[in-house]
């Protein structure tokens, strides 16, 4: 294989890898927010099989809490953390 073909093939593989990673991105939480990704066993979303939670702020409940399995059937929820007053 000549040098040009190797360069093109490697470029295509790298592009596919970057697109695959970007497609699975989960939004990062803002200040005092939690992001939950809930995973389901089927497209009807009737059976929860896993949860991934990311929090940003001192009043949030979940700090990178993860349990269960990940699947292609999921929902993403962004919630505000409770405000604590002195």
Instruction: Tell whether pTM > 0.75.
Output: no
Q: What is the 3-state secondary structure (H, E, C) of 16-35?
A: HHHHHHHHCCCCCCCCCEEE
Nearest C-alpha neighbor of 43 from the set 2, 71, 70: 71
Task: Specify the pLDDT at position 85.
Answer: 64
DSSP 64: S
Between 83 and 72, name the one with better pLDDT. Answer: 72
Tell me: the pLDDT tens digits for 32-68?
Answer: 888 889 999 999 999 999 998 887 777 776 666 788 9
Q: Report domain extents, the chain.
A: 3-80
| Mean pLDDT over each residue of the chain, to the nearest integer | 79
3-state DSSP assignment of residue 37: strand
Scanning the structure block, which residue is given the tokens 């059976």?
Answer: 47
Between 56 and 80, name the one with better pLDDT. Answer: 80
């Amino acid at each position: 294989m000549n040098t040009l073909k190797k360069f093109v093939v490697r470029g295509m593989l790298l592009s596919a890898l970057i697109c695959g990673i970007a497609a699975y991105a989960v939004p990062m939480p803002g200040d005092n927010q939690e992001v939950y990704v809930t995973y389901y066993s089927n497209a009807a979303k009737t059976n929860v099989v896993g949860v991934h939670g990311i929090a940003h702020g001192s009043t949030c409940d979940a700090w990178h809490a993860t349990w269960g399995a990940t699947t292609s059937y999921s929902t993403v929820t962004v919630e505000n953390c409770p405000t604590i007053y002195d």
